[in-house]
Each structure stands twice: as structure tokens, then as C-alpha cells.
Structure 1
Amino acid sequence: MTSNNQVDFPYEISEKIIYSRALQSVVWGIPAVNYDRIYQAFLSVGGSNNQIAYSTKPGNWKNQLLTPNADAVFALVFFDTMISGPLVLEIPQAAEFTILGTIMTCWQLPLEDVGTDGADQGNGSHYLILPPNYKDTVPTGYTVLSSPNSQGYALLRCMPKSDKDIDLARAIIYMEQIKLYPLANLEVGNSTSYIDITDKNFDAVIKYDISFFESLHRIVQEEPWLERDMLMVDILKEIGIEKDKPFTPDVKKRKILLEAVSDAKEYLDKRYEGYKAFYKSSKWFFPADPSLLNSWFSGFKENDIYPIDARAAAYYWGFGSLKRTKSTISQFYLFLICDRYGNKLDGSQRYKLTLPADVPVNKYWSVTAYNRSTHSYIKGVAYSSRSSLSQDLRINKNDGTITIFFGPEPPDELHSNWIPVRANENFELVFRFYGVEKPILEKKWILPDVESL
């Protein structure tokens, strides 16, 4: 033993402890790292906190978020109440649009859903986001959200009526009416700063290298410890992440951290591939655990459950969360990574997906192709999605079915039903249902497997 009663472990055991705690830190910390990657991407294109990022081109491959919606006009509202104090987020009345969104902390804990299915039910509202432990008098007339963190963001999506230029323009005009400003600025005006990220390289893909721990270190420095996570204080200290201290791993520790983050990615990938098929007759799956959904709805306040692994698996492939959807499921996603025979979807091959007639949604459906490794848009393609909003989509007049094609080159016919992918890259598909109707959840309308051509 050393003089301070700490055990002087043999080198091999000490190394194993660092590895195991690094692995655990990756699984625990991925929601915050996911957020930090998005915020760092915003900084790289000239943005800052308490500003709004938006894009005028849905599906632009330069938007390298994790499985973003390729058919909706979106905005990302970044806030930091440590800088500004309480913040007001104005969500305008939805009017002709379907507006979906959630306000979240930097740990992607949902504070409230907004828009059509949110607290305002599409009527619009002024949401007041309070700093941690806020004690001052709260004014009336607001939907008040108390946040345990100072940083966070809102993910907002406006669903246009179609992919026509005029409908997209109307959706963009709506998004430009969203406002964010400090409560203290009411006397001097409520100006909002918007950053158009269209055609800018917005790389928010999680990197499973040393930058993962650098992101985690930033969050630890800037945010208060949450009571439920106090166990992680000493675990992070062991790998070199400690409040008010720099993160400077030596060569030996850096090597261990790189091995741990690589293995964590492999673990999460195996979980992703292991989700149970939604249907008995096809391989589409829903990549989320009920324990995570219940924890979102409760705010992680249930005493006997803290689904860290399920949470990590979700933020491995996507971002965002939901607060109210437990009672009304209005949006539903299914994923696919292989063909009917279990072979990985290969961008060098050609495939087709034949949708049965009358997809049971009252808003719209879409299918989008993503890079299997990054879970983001396939780089360099002209577009990534086909949907019921696509005006040129061809429907089989005989039976109402719709055939979607995937491949590096378009089919000889039905070019408008083709989604391009890149040769020599595996890809994955996400099928989105908006305005979900009973036949989907009751599995009476079945999404079939893709077939190799």
C-alpha cells in the first residue's frame, strides 16, 4: 500500500480498470457527446448559443446529423441560460402546417414537446426556459420549463404540404417566425439571430476516437452534476476527466481510451443489429427500448430504472427525444439494415421495396437511405428520400402499390421512384410514418422486406 492507503495495483490491473471505466463512460456519456457534436458543428459554421440554425433544403447531404428527416424543413434552437438567464422560445401557431418538436437539455432529456402534438397543440406558445435552481419570481403567461442544465436545444420540424418549391418556401417562412430571446430583453425588443446552414458542411457525426472524451470533458466543465449521475464523478476522474482540470491523457492512457471507445462502438452496433423484428414476416425493426421511452416520459425520475445502455443505443444512431408521445403515437419509425435473406444492404447492388396500397397515415410517409456506418446522409448523392410528399412519385394504377428502387444507378423506368446510394458502401433505411393510424401499430398493414434485383 502507498502512504495514503491507496492500493498500488500491478500495471496490468490498473490498465484494465482504466479501460473498463472508459468503456462505461462512453455508454453513459453518449447523449451529451451527441449534443456536443451538433453544437460544435454549429460553431464551425459561424453559430453560437442562443441562436437558431435552419436549412432551406431538406435532405441536403452536407447536413451530417444522425438520421435526419429528409423531407421536413428543420430548425435547431441552441440555448444557454448560464449566459442569458431565462430564455423565451416563441413557437408560432401551426396554421396550415404540421409542426413537431421537442425542447431538450444537453443530455437530451425532454423538457417539453411543442407544436401540433406538443403542449400548445399547434396553437403556438411562449415557452420560458429557466436556468438550473432558478429562484426568482416567474412571470405569468408562459409555458414554464425548469431545466437541470443550462445548455440545451430544441429540434423543430415543419412538414410542408409537398416538395413543391412554393410549399417549401411557405414552410421556411414559418420557421423564420420562431423566436428566441432573453426574458430580460422584453423591454428592449426580442430580436433573434438565425444562421442558415444550407450548403454548409455541418458534421455532427459522432467520432469514436479521442474527440469523444474531449466532448465529454467539455460537458463536465460547463454543466452541473446531476444527482442521478454522481456515481460517474470518480469513474471519469480515473480516465482523466475532472471538473476544473484539463483533459491531457498521456500516450499510455490515450491508447487505452482509444481501444475502449472503439469497443464501445462495436458493442452499440451489436445492440443495434440485435433489435427484434417488428413483424414476423419482414426484418424491419424499431430501434428503441420501452424502458428508455418510459424514462423520457417520466424525466428519468423512476427510482428502480436508469436505462443507460438502452439510451446509449438510441443516441448511437439518432438524436432528440420525446416527452408526450406515450399517450398519442403520431410518429413512428422502422429501420432496415439487410435484405429478406439477412444480407447487409450493399450500395453496389440494386434493390426494390414494394409498398402495399394505402399506407395508413393521415399526414405522410417517407423512406430514407443513410450510410450504415455513420447513420447520416450518404455523401454526394442528389437526394436521400422518397415520400408521399414527392409530387413525381409513380403509383401502380392497377393495385395502388408503390415500388421504390435503391442502387448506384437509376432503374430503366420509374426514375422518379429511385433513391441513389453509393457503390461499395453499406446503407440502411428508415421508414417514417407521420399521422400513424391503427393498422400500423396493430401490424395489419405490413412493410415488406426489400428485394435484391
Structure 2
Amino acid sequence: MGADFKPAPDRIETNFGTLEFEYGAYPTKDTAQKLFDELDLQRATQAFLDFFPTVSTYAIIKGQIRDFEYTSTSDVAVAAGPGWKPSEPHLTGNNSTIYANVGLDLKLDGPTVVEAPAGMNGTADDITFKFLVDIGEVGPDKGAGGNFLFLPPGYEGDVPDGFFVVRSPSYRVWLLLRGFGEVGIGDEAVEWFKERLKVYPLETGPRDGKFFNASGYGINPLPPEDGSYFEMLNEVIQYEPSELFDKEQLGRLATLGIEKGKPFAPDERMLKIFDQAAKVGTAMSRAIVFAPRDPEVKYWPDRNWEKMFVRNTEFLRNGHNDIDARTLWHYQAIVMSPFLLSNTPGAGTYYLDAAKDSNGAHLDGANTYRLQVPANPPVKRFWAVTAYDPQTRGLLDAGDNFNKTVGSNENPEVNADGSIDVYFGPEAPEGKEANWVPTNPDKGFFLVFRFYGPLESFIDKSWVLNDLELME
């Protein structure tokens, strides 16, 4: 005999009200409405979290078309320095490198060629921000540059020789190419890319594109944190092949009125639910990023520096998707590539962030802190530390000095023992301007410390980065 069945009671107290059932199981009209409101809210909130990487990619591409006035996929926006401004809050975009932004539309152009120059580090991701290919020293071109051919979903046509072939599961593809000191800054950097980078449909051959300095344009590439998030999500669902998404996810979206081939027309009730879901999803994302409960987030167990990637860039753990690790990365950053989680000395990059000082208190822009970087930072290329706004996750607006980064490329003052003291605060300590990152006294902030070409002592954790110390 099995255990006795114990049905749920006919009156249930919940955080969204009292639920009552007639004859033990039939919901009253009021109870049914409460339950469907809550069900729709829960599904919409989970959709916000699940599809955030997708909407993030789409927000960047849509922002480029809207704010950069892209007229074709051959247009290239170059963040030519000295860097993005706070009005352009790329998720933890940094100002230590020069970016070239490329958005492909394989539905519009069909197979598309990207002629990549030598010496680049770049990545192409599909619309869900999943990795497609690296360009550069860790890509198939091995840093020599080459012609990459991107093929649309389901492409069955001839594939010519002489290309690095990339089959994309989505129509839209986003590429981010990054240059270092050799490309220059400003107009020089724009011309560098214009002479070397070409993007065009295979069918038409090379065509002219618009290359321009995107710094200062005021682009908004962030996913919305209100109900308009779901409008953007619907646009993606309508444009991309259904095979790109999990059927279970599509089924949940359909219950919310987001379904391919059907108009998206939420009523007043659903508009309120979508707005609440986006706000709750944002709040949950903030908790995952700034108050993580995963003990493996810390890079060194006795420090407050945390991994932006936990375990791997595919967010896999013990045979399942680590959905919190996915949020940890995508809510605060963009681009997906193994290049960003290097375990090979001298190759790729590694990023750590910190939102707390050595006492465990959140970083306050009204205070002054010191970060002592031990001697011999283990990097092949360079290191850099940058301050960010926790609301936008973009560069911290600290007035005229907003884009200040301190790192090995900025020639900071070095202590006699080889260590480097970096200061963060609204004003530079006397004589320490070269080692100072300005903060906004009206805002909190967090840091990202980047290791370009991390070496063995970082990978094996024998070199340890100190926490920030509050200065009295």
C-alpha cells in the first residue's frame, strides 16, 4: 500500500492573497484570477531572466541602427577613444582598447563576408549571445587575419573555398573586434579599420560602408528594465527562426501573448504584469550579481574579488545549465567567447570584479580607497582597472574625468618594491593623480580588473590581488 494521499487544503494563504476552492478543488472566480495573474507574472519574470542574453544582443544591434544611423551591414562604428562615455552605457565596456562594432543580418544579405585584419582580437556571437567564432590569435586565423564567411540558418547552397566558414543558427550576428595601441585613437583608429576591415554580402562582393568614430554618439545599447523589454523580445521571436529557441520556452512565451506569426497586443492587465516582471527580474539579477550565493564566485577565498564567469563560458555544471551563472555574466557584460576565460598562459583575457572593500562594505563614491597591486602583475599584454556604475553597469560618470582607467599602459607611479597603489575617490590624494580613478560622491561603484594575457601565477592563484582599503 502506498502512502495516504494528502490533498492541499481548500483555503491557502499565499504572498499574493488568500486562495479559496469550492468543494475542495474548484477555484472561486477571484481565486482563479489571482492565480492566473501570479502565473503570468512568474512566467514573464523567468522569461526576463532566460532571454536576457538574447534581448541584450538585440538591444545593441537595434541601438546601432537607431543611434548610429546604420544604413547597411557594411557600416562599422569604431569606439575610437578615448572611450565610451556614461551616456553610452555598454555593459562593462572598457576604455583600454579600441572597439569596432559590426552587426550582420543574414536574412537581409544572405551569406556575408567579413575580411578581418591581422592582429585583431574579436568575437562573433549569434543573437542569443552564444559563441560562434573568435577572430585573432585564439581564432582559426591565428592572428594573421582572413576572410570569414557567415552562413544563415539552414543554408544549403554552395560554399566557396578560401573562407573560414561560420554557420549561424540565427539571422542576426554581432561582432566585436578590439584593437590595441597599434590602431591609434580618434580619426587615426577609424582610418585604420576603414583600410583593413570589410563587411559585405557574398553575392555583391565588396561594397563601401560607413566608418565613423562612435564615441560621443550617445547610443543606448541596454536591455530595457520595464515592460518594453517584452516588446523587444517579441521582435526577436518574430524575426528569428523558431528552431533557435527551446520549445518549452516558446510555449511559456505563447501563454504571455508572444508567439511567432501572431500580433503582440497585450491588454492593460498584461502591460502591468510585463512591467512588474521586468522590475522583479532586474531586482533578481542585481542580487545574483552583487550578492551572489554561489561560493565558487570568489577567485581567492579570502578576497572580495569575484569571477565574472563561474566555471565556464557555456554555463554548464554537472550536466545542466547553470542559469544563475548565465545571469551573473550577461546582466553585467557582453560578448561570449572562451577567449574571455583563459586557462592558457599568455592567451586570452580574464576579468574579476569587486563591489566591496576589505571590510565587506559596498564601495561608496564619496570615500577614498587604496588598491595595492602587488609587484609583477601576471600578464603578457597589460592589466587595467576601471570603475563602473552599478545601475547601468557602464562606465562611472565622475564628471570630466569619467573615462579614467589606471593600468600598466597608463604608466602609473610604481613603489620601490614593484607594487602599485591605485586610488579611487572623488579627489586624488596629493601627488597621486597618475594613479587615481575618480568616483562620483553621489553614487556607489564597482570595479573590473582585467588581465590581458594572464600568466601562470594568476591562473594557479599564487599571485593574489589585494582588496580595496578604506582610507581615513
When normalised by structure 2's length, the TM-score is 0.86
Q: Contact (CA 8 Å) 1:281, 1:448: kept in 2 or not?
A: no
Instruction: Provide the identity percentage.
Output: 29
Match of 1:147 among 168, 189, 200: 168
List per-residue Cα deviations over 1:263-283 (Å, max 9, x = no partner): 112222222121532113311
Conservation of the 8 A alpha-carbon contact between 1:366 and 1:432: yes
User: Residue 18 in 1 paired to residue 40 in 2?
Assistant: yes
Query: What are the equivalent positions in structure 2 for 1:309-324 lying under 5 Å apart?
Result: 309-323=324-338
Equivalent residues of 1:367, 1:431 under 8 A apart: yes
- 1:60 lines up with 2:78 in the alignment: no
Q: Which moved more, 1:49-58 or 1:303-312?
A: 303-312
Partner of 2:377: helix, strand, or coil?
Answer: coil
Q: 1:171 to 1:160 in 2, by over 3 A?
A: farther
Q: Distance in 2 between the 1:183 and 1:85 partners?
A: 8
User: Hey, what does 2:5 align to over in structure 1?
Assistant: none
Checking the alignment, whether the CA contact within 8 Å between 2:365 and 2:445 is kept in structure 1 is yes
Retained in 1: the 8 A contact 2:373–2:421?
A: yes
Letter in 1 for 2:240: E
d(CA) in 2 for partners of 1:323, 1:402: 30
1:431 is aligned to 449
Greater length-normalized contact order (CA 8 Å, ≥ 6 residues apart): 1
2:237 aligned residue: 220
Deviates most, 70-79 or 242-251: 242-251
Contact 2:306 2:354 in 1 (8 A): yes
Aligned to 1:232: 249
| CA 166–140 in structure 1, closer or farther in 2 if over 3 Å, else same | closer
* SS of corresponding position for 2:384: strand
1:330 and 2:348 aligned: yes
Superposed CA offset, 1:194-242 (max 9, x none): 2431211012223210121111111111111235511122211222212
Alpha-carbon spacing, 1:126–1:166, altered in 2? closer, same or farther (3 Å): closer
For the pair 1:390 / 2:407, whether they are aligned, the reply is no
Q: Which residue is 1:285 aligned to?
A: 306
d(CA) in 1 for partners of 2:431, 2:186 = 27
Counterpart of 1:17, as a letter, is L
For the structure 1 residues 215 and 100, does the alpha-carbon distance in structure 2 shift closer, same or farther, using more than 3 Å as the test?
same
Determine if contact 2:383/2:452 at 8 Å carries over to the other structure: yes
Q: What amino acid is the match of 1:185?
A: T
Does the 8 A contact of 1:385 with 1:419 survive in 2? yes
Q: Who is 2:115 aligned against?
A: 90
Deviations 1:25-49 (A, max 9, x none): 1111101111122122212231245
SS in 1 for 2:331: helix
- Any unmatched runs of 5+ in structure 1? 1-6, 296-301
Cα gap change, 1:362 to 1:137, in 2 (>3 Å): same
Q: Residues of 2 paired with 1:36 and 1:105: CA distance?
A: 10
Corresponding position of 1:76:
101
Tell me, yes or no, if the aligned pair for 2:288 and 2:328 is still in contact at 8 Å: yes
Q: 1:435 to 1:172 in 2, by over 3 A?
A: farther
Give the TM-score normalised by structure 1: 0.89
Distance 2:190 2:420 in 1: 29
Does the Cα contact within 8 Å between 2:113 and 2:147 map onto a contact in 1?
yes
* Greater Cα offset, 254-263 or 128-137: 254-263
- Looking at structure 2, the residues matched to 46 and 205 of structure 1 have their Cα atoms a distance apart, in angstroms, of 17
Answer yes or no: is 1:113 the counterpart of 2:134.
yes
**Residues 150-169 of structure 1 aligned to structure 2 (within 5 Å):** 150-160=171-181
Question: CA contact under 8 A between 1:373 and 1:426: conserved in structure 2?
Answer: no
Quote the Cα distance in structure 1 between the aligned partners of 2:244 and 2:331.
Answer: 24
1:338-361 CA distance string (max 9 Å, x none)? 101111001111111111111111
CA RMSD after TM alignment: 2.2
Q: Which amino acid letter does the alignment assign opposite residue 453 of structure 2?
A: G
Name the count of aligned residue pairs.
430
